[in-house]
Structure 1
Amino acid sequence: MALKEILPGRLGLGTAPLGNMFRAVPDEEARATVEAAWDHGVRYYDTAPFYGAGLAEERLGQVLAARPRDSYVLSSKVGRVVLDEPETGVPELGEKSGLFAHGNPNRVLHAWTAEATERSVEDSLKRLGTDRLDIVWVHDIAQDFHGDAWLGRFEEARTGAFRVLSRLRDEGVIRAWGLGVNRTEPVELTLALDEPRPDGFLLAGRYTLLDHGHALQRLLPMAQEQGVEMVVGGPYGSGALAGGAHYEYRQAPPEIVARVGKLRALAAKHGVGIKAAALRFALAHPVAAAVVPGATRPDRVAEDSAALAENIPAAFWHELREKGLVSPAAPLPHGA
């Protein structure tokens, strides 16, 4: 099923920050953030066991438990099983080391087998306190976590998670499945398979104002040709576009800081909010079904909601193109 037929709107809430990404978020702040998203009309919520070793799912479920299940769409991910035992060492997370150092202390098993996938779904349902997931993403089978070993993880998922999720979709247990990754190559490889067939993908950080050229070369044309749609994660580049210090979950390098400065200056010239520009850029591609920025403060959710409704003059997009701040192949609003 097409994602646009499932998703209730173009703005969702990404819950990685609710898993205590980068910092320890107080429970009351996490709850207030989810409630603010609801109050602003957000009805799509994306989460994962990996986010704080189940913490994000637990926090999200506590708020959504008071809402009718048919009134929102929920996606989670498979690939990590949260164990009922403490982590005694330092988790090996490739480029993302220390990302959830403030999350739950549980050990997390990284596995994309059929058995692990079924257990992961069952455990997510328990933490979320719900009877079903609408969409399930196969999480992080890419180079940023596994380096040169990523193809082995992909094959494990192809013969395990992909087949389980295809069956669950065909049985009506879930409505759609796909990949949730920070790199384009695993999605490209999946779209090149004869079977199983994903319904969409969540691509984090690879279709933003700061980084989109690579996705436009091969992945997005393939997806458009096959009718496979995309949820855009990380539209602010881990916060760099929204005034944060991080890019790709690390301290933003000088070249990114300089690029952000140029984008912000141009936005200011046209009286445009940088968040509005980031969200509208991501959604301008025909493959994009929704965008899911993360947040841990209620006021950030309010900003995101207002940004999506902001009027952006065509002149901004035209000058963005003229100054070479976006790829010539990137679709822009107003046909710029």
Structure 2
Amino acid sequence: MSSVITFEKRGVGQTGLEVTTLGLGGASLAGIFTGVAEEVARATINHAHEVGITYFDTAPQYGYGRSEHLMGNALRGKREGTVLSTKVGRLLKPIKDGWTSPHNWVDPLPFDQVYDYTYDGIMRSFEDSLQRLGLNAVDILYVHDIGVATHGEEENKRLWAQLAGGGYKALRELRDGGTVRAIGLGVNEWEVLMDAFALGDWDVFLLAGRYTLLEQTSLDPFMTTCLKRGASVVVGGPFNSGILVGGSTWNYAKAPEDVVKRVNAIEAVCKEFNVPLPAAALQFPLTHPAVCNVLPGPRTPEELDGILAWWRTPIPDALWTMLAEKGLLAKGTPVPGGVAG
């Protein structure tokens, strides 16, 4: 078992919250694509806490309630010094025996999801999450998976009107009243976050897959706007669905040839410095000053130990410089000593 690690801590927006720069995501533990035994999932959460990770993320969608039950059971009695986030926008309703909806979860709890971003829906979602967690508070609330990629253009217009017409007000009331410490959105597309800035002020965004060693599409205007508006970014999906850890999947599908070619070029630079590609992928997002945390999703304590080994791999500044010089980082990407040209 790994010893306690002294992780760097960074602030979350302007809230006063601080998180370790490495966190633990709760989707994989709830059985997305591959089942995870409950005792293994709980052991992974406990292991993360024992080594010094203080930021944990979950959501009602993950295993249709399973992840929140796991997180609450594992962290109950250990909340001092930890930061816990969950998400709103999905309500869970019981299903009849023998009926299932299309989803990617192995052995989910017997519920289906209903999207609801209204004022009442946000408040109900928050209260339901506390009950599933068995806790009296969480620190961060994210609006989950709102955007065209999830809902399609027409349906997203209807759901966005719910958020703009009452959901954002509910989040502001929860934060401004001190019930939660920070509010934001958790999504896979950065464009919707620019729309969110037009609604008002946010503290932190959980953005999956769009600011990684492979892809910096969110760099400008999103990441630059975060710096101007005092908002932080948690980077989810740092391995781009597995392509950066030797897999063949990118963005939840088979990687196209141009992506494979780019990954091979990045890996060739890493080999010149004797740095494993996953180590560079894991540490890269933190070169940006808006990023406060990187959030991988290990399934077992052993997978977490592998991530910790990558996390502690020394990476020379010259590696980032070479990636920039070879055009493998987007122009303007912050790297130690400057930005990519």
Counting aligned pairs with the same residue, the percent is 39
From 268, 271, 293, the equivalent of 2:271 is 268
TM-score (norm 2): 0.90
State the one-letter code of the partner of 2:58.
T
Relative distance call for 1:256 and 1:105 in structure 2 (3 A) is farther
1:199 aligns with 2:236: no
Kept in 2, the 8 Å contact 1:37–1:302? The answer is no
- Name the counterpart of 1:186: 192
Partner of 1:50: 61
Q: Secondary structure at the match of 1:238?
A: helix
Mapped pair 1:162 → 2:168: yes
What letter corresponds to residue 291 of structure 1 in structure 2?
A: V
Which residue in 2 is equivalent to 1:36? 47
Q: Which residue number corresponds to residue 87 of structure 2? A: 77
- For 2:306 and 2:15, how far apart are their aligned partners in 1? 24
The CA deviation at 1:330 is: 0.7
Does the 8 Å CA contact 1:229/1:288 hold for their aligned counterparts? Answer: yes
Separation in structure 1 between the aligned mates of residue 330 and residue 131 of structure 2, nearest angstrom: 44
Q: Is the 8 A contact 2:243 2:250 kept in 1?
A: yes
> Which SS does the other structure have where 1:160 is aligned?
helix
Letter in 1 for 2:231: V
Cα distance per residue 1:120-142 (max 9 Å; x no partner): 11111111111101000000111
Shift of 1:65: 1.6
Q: Alpha-carbon deviations, 1:96-116, whole Å to 9, x = none?
A: xx3325422311111111111
1:70 positional shift:
1.9
Q: What's the CA shift for 1:66? A: 4.1
Match of 2:122 among 92, 113, 117: 117
3-state SS in 2 of match to 1:232? strand
Whether the 8 Å CA contact 2:141–2:180 is kept in 1: the answer is: yes
Q: Which amino acid aligns with 1:209?
A: L
Name the counterpart of 2:3: none
Match of 1:252 among 249, 252, 255: 255
- 2:303 maps to which of 300, 303, 315: 300
Structure 2 alignment gaps of length 5 or more: 1-11
Instruction: After TM superposition, list the pairs within 5 Å mapping 1:1-336 onto structure 2.
Output: 2=13, 5-67=16-78, 69-86=79-96, 88-91=99-102, 98-149=103-154, 150-193=156-199, 195=200, 197-212=201-216, 214-335=217-338
Query: TM-score if structure 1 supplies the norm length?
Result: 0.91
Greater Cα offset, 134-143 or 255-264: 255-264
**What are the Cα deviations for residues 153-175 of structure 1, in whole angstroms up to 9, with x where unaligned?**
22211223211010011110000
Return 5+ residue gaps in structure 1 as ranges. 92-97
Contact 1:45 1:73 in 2 (8 A): yes
Residue 206 of structure 1 aligns to a residue whose secondary structure is coil
Please tell me the residue identity of whatever aligns with 1:118. M
Cα distance 1:170–1:124, how it changes in 2: closer, same or farther (>3 A)?
A: same
Taking a change above 3 Å as real, the CA distance of residues 249 and 57 of structure 1, as seen in their structure-2 partners, is same
Aligned length: 326
Distance 2:191 2:262 in 1: 25
Deviates more, 1:237-246 or 1:137-146: 237-246
Q: Which amino acid aligns with 2:94?
A: D
Could you say what secondary structure the match of 1:88 adopts?
coil
Provide the aligned C-alpha RMSD in A.
1.8
**What is the alpha-carbon distance in structure 2 between the residues aligned to residue 71 and residue 137 of structure 1?**
20
SS in 1 for 2:80: helix
C-alpha offsets along residues 21-66 of structure 1, whole Å, 9 cap, x if unaligned? 1111111221221122112211100110011101111111121124
Deviation at 1:191, TM superposition (A): 1.1
1:23–1:102 CA contact under 8 A, matched in 2: no
* Alpha-carbon contact 1:3-1:289 (below 8 Å) kept: no
SS in 1 for 2:114: strand
Distance in 2 (alpha carbons) for counterparts of 1:334 and 1:279 = 19
Q: For 1:255-313, what per-residue CA distance to the aligned partner results, in whole angstroms no more than 9, with x for missing partners?
A: 32222222222212211122221122111111111111111021221222232332111
Change (3 A) 1:225 1:246: same
Deviations 1:229-272 (Å, cap 9, x if unpaired)?
Answer: 11111111112212233221223333322222222222122111
Return the letter of the residue paired with 1:162.
Y
| C-alpha separation in 2, matches of 1:250 and 1:30 | 25
> d(CA) in 1 for partners of 2:21 and 2:64?
28
